[in-house]
Amino acid sequence: MRIGVSKEVAPGERRVALVPESVKKLIQAGYDVSIEAGAGEAAGHPDAAYRDVGAAVEADSASVLGSADLVLKVGPPTAAEVSSMRQGAIYLGSLMPLRNPESARALAQGRITAFSTDAIPRTTRAQSMDTLSSMANIAGYKGVLLAAAELNKYFPMLMTAAGMVPPAKVFVIGAAVAGLQAIATAKRLGANVVATDVRPEVKEQIESVGGKYVGIELGEAASAGGGYAKELSEADKARQREMLAAQVAQSDVVITTALIGGVFAPRLITAEMVRSMRPGSIIVDLAADGGGNCELSRPGEAALVGGVTILAPLNLPATLPLHASLLFSRNLTAFVLAFTKDKAFQLDFNDDIQQGAVITHEGEVRHARTRDALQRGAS
């Protein structure tokens, strides 16, 4: 059975779906692996490194995709890439089907069986396959570094000959994987860190990485299960806005990471809240890929509003391509090896992981929420 890895073509994408370490493991498990020439260069892996572990390096994407039984990618395939895949092939990668429903439609029309790693159930067994968590961890880390580089003051408290410099005040909104990493990184840099989440059960997690929890008493539960949050009631939203406004106004840095269902960003920081911040303050909107948590964010750009800098970076994991590729590759490899039998990948939709992650199969969109999104778009 042949695994194919093509070069990522999305603007700014520097990751690769498989690194040589993983290629070696997959070949030992009985797979043939082909890599498009140059696919790993931006992540620090030249073609020679793939040849050294036994992979075939092909000159172009069409050759790799057309001969692959199992296509491994970082992001959703383009229409041209789908047309290069053979019917009955299997796609595995971070499809984000609710953001990219047309990619799901193209895969279904091409009769490709597509698994999206960001739809994998958040269970103990599936942790090693969860690209969403791996990449969120990187985003949380890098987001704090961006804030520290832009802020007009130190993060840590310093005792100097000229007197004491107080620590920066950092407010993190959302305490899933990205938020917890942001809290931990800001704390390591010496900042005074407070954090909030609509799920009060994460209070202990916030405190375990050095943050102080702030929150409101909710009228109804805000957990959607699987580590995700759901939308709040109108009454709870109003009370949350009051709390956010108070915290934002006194913060030097605000880092937002809130996503509903791990996909869509609720608007939490209003223009009025931004204008309440001191000049020189920083907002880093890590939910920009999902539309942004800040009303004034411009995804992919930096904005300056009343002296407040709003950063809304897209695809932060691609800015750390070596480690991002390593973790992503290990996630995909864990998925493949978990379902490998007799040197081939076995489909098993009775398995909870495959059942949760499958998006398309035999010409149909199997993922209910993606199917609903496509039907809404057609109506």
State how beta strands 302-305 and 282-285 pair: unpaired
Q: Which of 22, 116, 130, 247 is catalytic?
A: 130
275 tagged catalytic: no
Q: Exactly one of 2, 86, 111, 122 is catalytic; which is it?
A: 122
The rounded distance, in Å, linking the Cα atoms of 89 and 113 is 6
Question: Is 342 annotated as catalytic?
Answer: no
Neighbours of 152 (CB within 10 A): 13
- HEC assignment per residue over 203-254: HHHHHHCCCEECCCCCCCCCEEECCEECCCCHHHHHHHHHHHHHHHHCCCEE
Q: Is 50 a catalytic residue?
A: no
Q: Which two tokens stand for residue 123?
A: 């269970």
Strands (E), 59-132: 70-72, 90-93, 113-116
Paired tokens of 217: 């008493």
CA-wise closest residue to 39 among 345, 325, 330, 331 = 325
Instruction: Name the one residue in this structure whose structure tokens are 């030249």.
Output: 46
Tokens found for residue 268:
């939490």
Q: How far from each other are the two terminal CA atoms of the chain, in whole angstroms?
A: 40
Which one from 86, 228, 239, 298 is the annotated catalytic residue? 228
Catalytic: which of 28, 127, 233, 375?
127
CA dihedral 267, 311, 118, 71 (to 10 degrees): 140
130 counts as catalytic = yes
CB neighbours (10 Å) of residue 53?
17
CA–CA separation, 119 and 347 (whole Å): 16
Task: Give the bridge partners for 120, in sequence order.
Answer: none
Q: Nearest CA to 139 among 270, 276, 265?
A: 265
- Name the active-site residue from 116, 133, 181, 205: 133
14 is catalytic: no
Burial of 159 (0-12, 13-18, 19+ CB in 10 A): exposed
Residue 378 CB: number of other CB atoms within 10 A? 7
Q: CA-CA distance, 96 to 117, in Å (whole number)?
A: 8
Q: Are 253 and 185 in contact (CB under 8 A)?
A: no
Residue 146 — φ and ψ, nearest 5°?
-60, -45
Residues identified as active-site: 122, 127, 130, 133, 228
